[in-house]
A and B are shown apart, each in its own frame.
Chain A
Amino acid sequence: AQTVTQSQPEMSVQEAETVTLSCTYDTSESDYYLFWYKQPPSRQMILVIRQEAYKQQNATENRFSVNFQKAAKSFSLKISDSQLGDAAMYFCALRVQGAQKLVFGQGTRLTINP
């Protein structure tokens, strides 16, 4: 079975600052994919970034980057130059190769202070 844990229920950051959201996971599979999804007040689930476990290079998408530590089973999300529109619930998710379902963490609510 796979589990995903987000130990920070809430985080806040000043606008234009950098914030890091934590995520740890557990799986016995060697081939898997990790994702960060954003859920703003509209409740839409928006894919932010993905990381393939076999890739050593950390994924980057504009102001969003990850720190993937495979041995530690850690997958944190860094948001640089935080903007008011980044305020949302952020979910870390795991899918193992060959499986269908995403397993989500409990979420971290991010507040951006102007």
Chain B
Amino acid sequence: AAGVIQSPRHLIKEKRETATLKCYPIPRHDTVYWYQQGPGQDPQFLISFYEKMQSDKGSIPDRFSAQQFSDYHSELNMSSLELGDSALYFCASSFLPGTGSSEQYFGPGTRLTVT
């Protein structure tokens, strides 16, 4: 079965640079979620999109922005990168969010290292 695809898998950036992470949801899934997992921490919800509209927002810094495109893929844009942004960034997708159990299926993550 097709899974969530994230690219790149690894990314190294310097402080104050920008980064763009991409997420391709499971086919027919209409919702994408972004999570940030710092070293030794649990995943923290950043933001979600349903049918190309922002549907929920968590602890996402103002330096970050995201969007979902017409083909349902999503991009997380991160500017003015800081050392503390080094983390594993997960994208997840689901169908019909907020209804039923609507499990979120996670991608393999993008490991961002800021030096």
For A, the interface residue count at a CB cutoff of 8 angstroms equals 23
In whole Å, how far is B113's beta carbon from the nearest beta carbon of chain A? 14
User: Within the assembled complex, what's the spacing in Å between the Cα atoms of A98 and B50?
Assistant: 13
Per-residue B-contact encoding for A28-62, CB less than 8 Å = 1, 0 else = 00000101010000111111001010000000000
B55 proximity list for chain A (CB < 8 A): 100
Are B98 and A102 in contact, CB atoms less than 8 angstroms apart?
no
Give the nearest-CB partner of A45 in chain B. Answer: B106
Known A44-B106, A52-B101: A104·B42 in contact at CB below 8 Å: yes
If A100-B98, A101-B56 touch, does A45 touch B103 (CB 8 Å cutoff)? no
Which residues of the other chain, B, contact A101 by a CB distance below 8 angstroms?
33, 45, 48, 56, 58
Say if the beta carbon of B74 comes within 8 Å of chain A.
no
Q: Is B68 an interface residue (CB 8 A)?
A: no
Q: Which residues of A lie under 8 Å from residue B42 when comparing CB positions?
A: 91, 104-107
Chain B residues lying within 8 Å of A14, measured Cβ to Cβ, are: none
| A50 & B58 in contact (Cβ 8 Å cutoff) | no
What range describes how many residues of B lie at the interface?
A: 20 to 34
* Contacting residues, chain A, for B7 (C-beta < 8 A): none
Whether B48 lies near A100 (C-beta < 8 A) is yes
Query: Which residues of B from 77 to 94 have beta carbons under 8 Å from A?
Result: 88, 90, 92
Return chain B residues, CB-CB under 8 Å to A98. Answer: 98
Q: What 0/1 readout, one digit per residue, does chain A (102-114) give for beta carbons within 8 Å of chain B?
A: 1111110000000
**Judging by beta carbons under 8 Å apart, are A100 and B108 in contact?**
no
In the complex, A16→B56 CA distance in Å? 42
- B interface residues (Cβ-Cβ under 8 A, vs A): 31, 33, 35, 41-45, 48, 50, 55-56, 58, 88, 90, 92, 97-98, 101, 103-106, 108-109, 111
- 19 additional contacts (CB under 8 A) given A99-B98, A100-B48, A101-B58: A37-B106, A44-B106, A44-B108, A44-B109, A45-B106, A46-B106, A47-B103, A47-B105, A50-B103, A91-B43, A97-B98, A100-B50, A100-B55, A101-B48, A102-B33, A102-B35, A102-B104, A105-B42, A106-B42
- Of all A-B residue pairs in the complex, the 5 with the closest CB atoms, nearest first, are A100-B56, A101-B45, A45-B106, A104-B42, A100-B48
